[in-house]
Amino acid sequence: MRNLTITAPLAALLSLASLGAAFAQAPAPVPDSKSAQYQSKGEQDRTYIFPGTGESIAYHIYVPMKWSANTKLPLVVVTHGANQPPTAPFQRPMDNPTLAKTAEARGYLVAAVTGYHANATGVGGWNVSYPMVQVPRQGPAGGGGGRRGGGAAPAPPTTEDFARAEMDVLYVADLMAKEYNADPNRVYLMGNSSGGSAVWNIGVKFPQRWTAISPSAAPLDDATFPYEKLKTVPVLVVHGDMDTTMVFDASKTMVDHAKARGVDATWLPVAGGKHTDAWAQPEIVTQIFDFFDKHPTKAR
């Protein structure tokens, strides 16, 4: 195995239980049937008002042209990498994006979320309490990643931001399911890098919501990870072997540990795949949707 470092979360994370009362007091968002975009098709920017904050939160969707109010298409919810907008998964690979084309060809609804605020979605974000296993950085700490131009640093995310990032995933899943009459037995979750850590974490916290999940390039320090909670949720783990950000071998270790704990886990290494878009290569995104198709109903 390559040398590795384990990065701790950005801040001590507040559990959803401790915010439960606040979330419960605010009604869950519902689709706006009066919107000009209501039940429209194709690729779209969307927003909704986040309960309890009054903020407009973006999400980005694709609805196949075959959709009608009488259909029940499967739904995939996508979590992006660190500090990115919800459009990012639809732009991978940059020279030939595949997600929207695959959704159209395969007949899937797809929704990519913001994660409440983008700065709540970095490594250690998304309300994930398990550190990610990263390739050690070369050179001075923080090289190449600092601010330029002398502007003020953005406010750091709060524990509430992290919890809301997690809730954003659930809210958007529900909004899409209601507006587009999604098949309730076919709701999938996938994401890359820090978004992949969210997939692992939200998978074990809310296993009843997902038919199958696919984290990519998202190895966790899994010493205390509760794999047993995924016994009813098949998992496809994707990772490119040319990743210089997250440790490739650590993802394979998670697959081995998951299988040992009774989880239906599948390993999909990507030869020559890099960190950002190994999952989005045409032959790989096809295999991810093949995996979803092989699991057409939630396990009981």
Q: What is the pLDDT of residue 224?
A: 98
- Indicate the average pLDDT of the chain: 91
C-alpha 244/C-alpha 141 separation (Å) is 16
Task: For each of the domains in the chain, give its residue range(s) and CATH number, in order of start.
Answer: 5-12+38-135+158-293 (3.40.50.1820)
Q: Is 240 helix (H, G, I), strand (E, B) or coil?
A: strand
Does residue 22 surpass a pLDDT of 70? no
DSSP character at residue 196: H
- The strand pair at 56-63 and 42-49 is best described as antiparallel
Q: What is the pLDDT of residue 24?
A: 57
Question: What would the two tokens of residue 5 be?
Answer: 């470092």
Q: If pLDDT is split at 50, 70 and 90, which confidence band does 15 have? A: very low
**230, amino acid identity:** L
Q: What is the pLDDT of residue 56?
A: 98
Burial of 205 (0-12, 13-18, 19+ CB in 10 A): middle
Number of C-alpha atoms within 13 angstroms, CB side, residue 78? 31
Does residue 141 surpass a pLDDT of 90? no
Does residue 55 surpass a pLDDT of 50? yes
pLDDT, tens digit, 9 for 90 and up, residues 71-100: 999 999 999 999 999 999 999 999 999 999
Lowest mean pLDDT among 48-57, 84-93, 132-141, 290-299: 132-141
pLDDT, tens digit, 9 for 90 and up, residues 25-37: 689 999 999 999 9
Q: What is the pLDDT of residue 12?
A: 38
Residue with tokens 């609804």: 109
Q: What is the pLDDT of residue 155?
A: 81
Q: What is the pLDDT of residue 26?
A: 83
94-115 average pLDDT score: 98
Q: What is the pLDDT of residue 10?
A: 36
